[in-house]
Structure 1
Amino acid sequence: MAASSARLLAAAAAAAAARGRAATTFRHAPTVSSSLSFPPNPHHRPSLHGRAGISFSSTSISLPSGSPHGASAPFNLFPPDSDPFIQWDPPPPDAASPLGAGAAGREAPGDLTLVVLLGWLGARQKHLRRYADLYRDRGVGSVRFVVPVRELLGLDLGRRVERRVADLAAEIAAWCDADHRRTLLFHTFSNTGWLAYGAILENLQSRADIIERIRGCIVDSAPVLEIRPEVWAAGFSAAMLKKSSSMTGPSVESPDGYTSNGTLNNLSSDVTRPTWGENILLSTLQKFFEIVLHLPDVNKRLEKVHSVLSEKQPTCPQFYLYSSADRVIPAECVERFIDMQKSLGQSVFAHNFVSSPHVDHYRSFPHVYAAKIDEFLKICSIARV
């Protein structure tokens, strides 16, 4: 059944690509070299071996003969990955943590803060680099984690990703163990990054000393707590089609066609309305996830992570960045989760960007986004954890 589903996904994606925007090109992302001086164990490389998954590397099609790129231009549904799963970025020389581990939040010499950037499904290291630079400018080092689409559509049903997350949790713990003054931030993107955060918390449940170092969590374009096949289908469709997806464009529901800073949103029908090919892909994915997400093993693992995220989050401040125009993660789901966390006594903050697409708030409103991060860092610096 899994192999059959994979063939359906490949065929549907091919149709969606053929009917997508004609000018879209598909290129491999450049290789990102690892920094070997910053990780606690520079020789560590997560194992690439595990249970066999479906191989999509040979799944390719040709663009139609009318394509401006020529009839023989290949479109790889799942191109080979050149990015490492985990990428460490050292803090600037002589950096002073904006959080400070000293008494009453005052900086102490040698304090360092690390932000753990957990990418959306299909994000590349180069995408997260912009966020790493945002934090680096504020004296915060980072570790970036990405999940390629192929890793969650294999026969092992995500177990290899779970092992990668466990490797990341171990590296984070080793970094903290090197100096008791080191503190952590988490910045998650979409439901994939948010679930990875939950899995890391689960891996660190026996390390209360590490959990206490988490000074804040920023949640960008998430969460949806319920197991909803249509949300998973939308996320995977957006990740597979990238810029050809209507999910990544402005929403037709944007109020009066204007963005939250008053500038006009260019709402064109080819961006806001899915093609028939994308509709086929969405329908196929939804049927696929209606089966997969209710498999006992998968459902049990998801419920376990959801339980950690809803009931066992650290007592640090939480900050939710979302948009009413998000076509992947419904704003009402985010707001419902915010209300739940507030009812549990958590310190929760939120900002609705109103019109920006899924995981596109920083690109749409860079100055507002950066200012909100600065505000939250100040809150984290004085919060009692």
Structure 2
Amino acid sequence: SEPFIQWDALPPQDTSAGGAGAGGREEGPALVVLLGWLGARQKHLRRYADLYRDRGVGSVRFVVPVRELLGLDLGRRVERRVADLSAEIAAWCDADRSRTLLFHTFSNTGWLAYGAVLENLQSRADIIERIKGCIVDSAPVLEIRPEVWAAGFSAAMLKKSSSLTGPSADSPDGSTLNGALNKVTSVSELTKPSWGETFLLSTLQKFFEIVLHLPDVNRRMHKVLSVLSDKQPPCPQFYLYSSADRVIPAECVESFINMQRSLGVSVSAHNFVSSPHVDHYRSFPHLYSAKIDEFLKVCSPVSV
């Protein structure tokens, strides 16, 4: 099976020719931590790693297979993998005090992984202060909502056959005209779920109504959510979302944005309107890239 963690810049403990960063590429002063959506594979995050590489930013990719969160340990193995990632990030930072970090999270799984990394690094204020920005793609939902978890797992399990992540009816190349979308598609126009998908969603929702309220799971979840609500680094945040997202409701993202702004956090956002869940870059590659460029200019000393 593929690794949870994949470095596109050499981690400090591995500088051999056969290491994770083999190929002669040197580390840059900044590293973006790409935290994938549930069921994402390393190859899916490669396009984002390439996006940052072209801007002089190294990357490390983290993925969570569906089976790891459905296991009998209720996510404990994933927590250990996040702890390993946190340790590797800390080691990378410790090797050079001038190094800085960015986080780019995908869906609620990536966003919760970000919260777990922050929790693991709470004793390292010197590293937390080096986090210069966080990009949140297709998230978050702050409340523990079984229907959102059911939608996320259903989309991950059914992949391309899921109506929740179906293609947008907008222009396939994501073209824009004077900065506006050529065509806007309402949520109601997206693919309707099949009987099998409806049954799976219903079953998963009942499952998560039980699991998410188990005392141990609920306590661990609230601990991470508390960090994400009140203890994020004082760096700019950028939310990329869509009104057509059928996994993470746009109003949940907007509610969290307003809450962070009320705390005095520098927050920017862009609603892609018609692209499905975690599909904004594929649907609108030029616009997505331009928005990342705009945000990187805000995240000094990270620059393009």
The TM-score, its normalising length taken from structure 2, stands at 0.89
How do residues 118-133 of structure 1 correspond to structure 2 at under 5 angstroms? 118-133=35-50
Task: Call closer, same or farther: CA 1:41–1:93 in 2, change over 3 Å.
Answer: closer
Alpha carbons 1:115, 1:187 under 8 Å: kept: yes
Match of 2:182 among 253, 256, 262: 262
Please state if 1:308 is matched with 2:227. Answer: yes
Please state if 1:353 is matched with 2:272. Answer: yes
Please state if 1:327 is matched with 2:246. Answer: yes
Alpha carbons 1:250, 1:325 under 8 Å: kept: no
Output the CA distance in 2 between the equivalents of 1:312 and 1:37.
28
Which one-letter code corresponds to 1:174 in the other structure?
A
Alpha carbons 2:8, 2:59 under 8 Å: kept: no
How do residues 209-288 of structure 1 correspond to structure 2 at under 5 angstroms? 209-250=126-167, 261-263=181-183, 272-288=191-207
Task: Call closer, same or farther: CA 1:133–1:300 in 2, change over 3 Å.
Answer: same
Output the CA distance in 2 between the equivalents of 1:368 and 1:91.
30
Superposed CA deviations along residues 98-142 of structure 1, whole A, max 9, x for unmatched, are xxxxxxxxxxxxxx1000000000000000000000000000000
**What is the CA-CA distance between 1:249 and the residue it aligns to?**
1.4
Superposed CA deviations along residues 269-295 of structure 1, whole A, max 9, x for unmatched, are 8x6100000000000000000000000
Output the CA distance in 2 between the equivalents of 1:89 and 1:38.
4
Please state if 1:376 is matched with 2:289. Answer: no
Output the CA distance in 2 between the equivalents of 1:177 and 1:39.
11
How do residues 1-385 of structure 1 correspond to structure 2 at under 5 angstroms? 38-42=10-14, 93=25, 112-250=29-167, 261-263=181-183, 272-381=191-300
Which one-letter code corresponds to 2:41 in the other structure?
R
Which one-letter code corresponds to 1:145 in the other structure?
F
Alpha carbons 2:9, 2:21 under 8 Å: kept: no
Which one-letter code corresponds to 1:40 in the other structure?
P
Task: Call closer, same or farther: CA 1:91–1:289 in 2, change over 3 Å.
Answer: farther
Output the CA distance in 2 between the equivalents of 1:36 and 1:348.
28
**What is the CA-CA distance between 1:32 and the residue it aligns to?**
11
Output the CA distance in 2 between the equivalents of 1:268 and 1:232.
21
Which one-letter code corresponds to 1:328 in the other structure?
V
Share of identical aligned residues, percent? 78
Which one-letter code corresponds to 2:67 in the other structure?
R
**What is the CA-CA distance between 1:382 and the residue it aligns to?**
6.1
RMSD: 3.0
**What is the CA-CA distance between 1:381 and the residue it aligns to?**
1.3
Output the CA distance in 2 between the equivalents of 1:373 and 1:34.
22
Task: Call closer, same or farther: CA 1:343–1:157 in 2, change over 3 Å.
Answer: same
Superposed CA deviations along residues 117-170 of structure 1, whole A, max 9, x for unmatched, are 000000000000000000000000000000000000011000000000000000
**What is the CA-CA distance between 1:42 and the residue it aligns to?**
3.3
The number of aligned residues is 292
SS at match of 1:302: helix
Listed as ranges, the gaps of 5+ residues in structure 2 are 170-174
Alpha carbons 1:219, 1:318 under 8 Å: kept: yes
Output the CA distance in 2 between the equivalents of 1:91 and 1:358.
33
Task: Call closer, same or farther: CA 1:212–1:33 in 2, change over 3 Å.
Answer: closer
Output the CA distance in 1 between the equivalents of 2:54 and 2:242.
26
Task: Call closer, same or farther: CA 1:349–1:89 in 2, change over 3 Å.
Answer: farther
Which one-letter code corresponds to 2:249 in the other structure?
P
Superposed CA deviations along residues 173-206 of structure 1, whole A, max 9, x for unmatched, are 0000000000000000000000000000000000
Output the CA distance in 2 between the equivalents of 1:33 and 1:159.
16
* Higher Cα radius of gyration: 1
